[in-house]
Structures are given as C-alpha cells and as structure tokens.
C-alpha cells in the first residue's frame, strides 16, 4: 500500500493521513474535517483542537447556526497542502492540530446546553490543548469563556461583531444577545481590557468595554483598528470571538441577524493578522447560518478567519525557535 504521508492521491486524510503536513487530496472529496486534520478524540497527540458546537436555541432572529460547524468544515477544504497565505508556511509542519468532532448537546434540554458545553470544553482545555470552537450561535461563547477563565483567570475579550450582546440579563436568559453581560457579571472577562469591533447596533450599556463602531473602523482602517485593540488589551490572556455578522452582508449573507454597513472580509482578516502578537488562549467563530448563504461565501469567510488564527499560532512556534 502506498505511504499515506507522501501519496498525493490519497483520500480521507481525516482518517488516514499523518498529523503533520497539509493534505493533497482533491478539495471536492474526502471526509470534511477542518482543514483535513485527523478526526480523533485522542488529544494527547495534539497542540490544537478544532471543535464544533452545533447549537442555535438561543437565536433571536433566523435559526440555522447549528449547521455552521459542518459548513465551515466543508469550506475549509480549499486550504489544501500548499503553503498558507499570508504566512507562506505549512502551519502543520510545526503544529499538531486535530478535529475532535462536535459537542454533545441534548436538543430536548436546551437549558442544559451551557453546562454541557462548559464541561466538555474544560476536558479539552485540561488536556493542554489550544481550543478553537466553531459555532453555533453566540450564546456558546459564554460557557467557552467560563472554561477558559477557569484555567487562565479573567480574560481580555476581542469581539468582532455587529452587535454588542450586552442586553440586560438576570442570569436566567437563554440568549445570544447577553453573553457579554453575563461574562462581565461573572468576572470571566476584564472589561477594562476588552474591546468590540465593527458594532452597528445600540444596546443600553457597553458594560465597560471599549466599542469601535463600524464607521469608526472604516475611518481608522485595519491598521488603525489593530492599534486600538493592542492598546486596549495589553499583556495577559486574550480570547477571540468572531461573530461572522461583523462582516457586511455582502461578504457574509449566511447569518442569523445580518446588518448592513459592516467590515469587508479583507479588512477584518488584515486586522486580525496584525494582532498576531497578542497572548491568545482560545477563539471561536459563530453565527454561520448556511441555509441563508450563497456559494459558501459566509462559510469560506469563517473558515478563513480560523485558518489565519491557526497560522498565528504556528508562527508563534516558528518565531520561538529562532
């Protein structure tokens, strides 16, 4: 049998391929793990784990984000074995990344979803693995922050979003519009180090976070936004949450609550790339709703956000070797 590590015609790299190196199988075939990484629950072999959270019971407008993880995985197949842009490296030459499947959520008990997500996320993080999560609606970020803050302490939150998600919540709501309110109240994030990017809706309170609205982001440009983020966040652990509706509907139509006037894909990606030196401890991309997508535009954008983040993690290792 041909060596799967070198055979560029092998199929299903997600099951048969090595941990290291990119996949060379056709992008239109094979098992759709994220970026063709190995499907496994064995985290002892991994530096990074990609994990899906197919939950959208907290959605206030158009449902369907439960199908987001599968769509993002499918779109990520375009990132084949070539050197990745813009780093020009193969991140998997230095970074062992696996796809550990999806969170188990009992759809009959939506009120128990937060507990399930937090417990399973904690198991992954406790394996000394860097967790990248694919949502799901934005409610899933709350239990993810609980799991990360337990390990790292209060986090700086960098939030790309059209919405502040700071609506009132007494702790009993199941809503994707209040996760920031709850995170501040529970001490999971430090609002003095946290910032929101691309906002173009108004909530009653900013809960102490700095808000860069869409017009300000346009005036500052990607480099100016990145400079404001770095000045706000400073040193210490940082969590990234990227709501795909931060992008204008022209670049991300497949989302539950689209708002006109958002960032372009290129500006958002350039901004993220310029934040590479922050002390990232985890991230999620949420609110991809493929039923409203066109030609996978939104799923491709979400997959690319994660692909850039993976390159950032890999470059930290490469630069540490030098």
> Residue 10: what pLDDT?
63
> Residue 171: what pLDDT?
86
> Residue 2: what pLDDT?
30
| Closest to 211 measured CA to CA, from 153, 140, 267, 160 | 160
Q: pTM here?
A: 0.93
> Residue 9: what pLDDT?
55
Cα separation, 20 vs 41, whole angstroms = 17
Beta carbons within 10 angstroms of residue 260's beta carbon: 10
Asked if the peptide bond before residue 140 counts as cis, ω within 30 degrees of 0, the response is: no
> Residue 174: what pLDDT?
84
> Residue 40: what pLDDT?
94
Residue pair 242/284 in contact by the 8 Å Cβ criterion:
yes
| Closest to 191 measured CA to CA, from 252, 236, 232, 245 | 232
> Residue 82: what pLDDT?
76
> Residue 5: what pLDDT?
44
Q: How far does the chain reach from its first CA to its final CA, in angstroms?
A: 38
Residue matched to tokens 């188990």: 104
> Residue 22: what pLDDT?
75
The pair of structure tokens assigned to 56 is: 């959208």
Distances (CA, A) of 229 to 12, 114, 158, 211, 224: 40, 29, 8, 10, 9
Angle at 105 between CA 99 and CA 106, to 5 degrees: 150
Residue pair 157/183 in contact by the 8 Å Cβ criterion:
yes
The residue ranges of the chain whose pLDDT is under 70 are 1-11, 321-322
- Superfamily name with CATH number, domain 13-321: Ureohydrolase domain (3.40.800.10)
Which residues fall within 8 angstroms of residue 11, CB to CB, at 6 or more apart?
25, 26, 29, 30
> Residue 8: what pLDDT?
55
């Amino acid at each position: 049998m041909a060596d799967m590590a070198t055979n560029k015609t092998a199929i299903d790299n997600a099951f048969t391929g090595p941990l290291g190196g990119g996949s060379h199988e056709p992008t239109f075939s094979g098992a759709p793990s994220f970026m063709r990484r190995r499907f496994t629950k064995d985290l002892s072999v991994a530096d990074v784990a990609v994990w899906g959270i197919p939950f959208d019971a907290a959605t206030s407008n158009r449902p369907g984000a439960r199908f987001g993880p599968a769509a993002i995985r499918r779109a990520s197949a375009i990132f084949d074995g070539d050197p990745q842009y813009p780093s020009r490296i193969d991140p998997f030459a230095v970074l062992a990344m696996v796809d550990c499947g999806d969170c188990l959520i009992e759809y009959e008990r939506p009120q128990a979803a937060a507990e399930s997500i937090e417990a399973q996320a904690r198991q992954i993080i406790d394996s000394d693995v860097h967790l990248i999560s694919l949502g799901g609606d934005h409610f899933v970020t709350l239990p993810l922050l609980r799991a990360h803050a337990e390990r790292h302490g209060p986090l700086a939150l960098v939030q790309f979003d059209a919405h502040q998600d700071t609506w009132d919540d007494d702790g009993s709501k199941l809503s994707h519009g209040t996760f920031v309110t709850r995170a501040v109240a529970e001490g999971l994030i430090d609002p003095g180090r946290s910032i929101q990017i691309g906002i173009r809706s108004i909530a009653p309170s900013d809960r102490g976070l700095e808000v860069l609205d869409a017009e300000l982001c346009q005036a500052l440009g990607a480099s100016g936004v990145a400079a404001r983020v770095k000045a706000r966040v400073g040193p210490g652990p940082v969590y990234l949450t990227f709501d795909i509706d931060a992008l204008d509907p022209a670049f991300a139509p497949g989302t539950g609550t689209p708002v006109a006037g958002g960032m372009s894909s290129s500006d958002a990606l350039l901004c993220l790339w310029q934040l590479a030196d922050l002390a990232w401890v985890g991230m999620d991309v949420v609110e991809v709703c493929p039923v409203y997508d066109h030609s996978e535009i939104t799923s491709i954008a979400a997959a690319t956000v994660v692909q850039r983040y993976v390159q950032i993690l890999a470059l930290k290792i490469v630069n540490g070797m030098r």
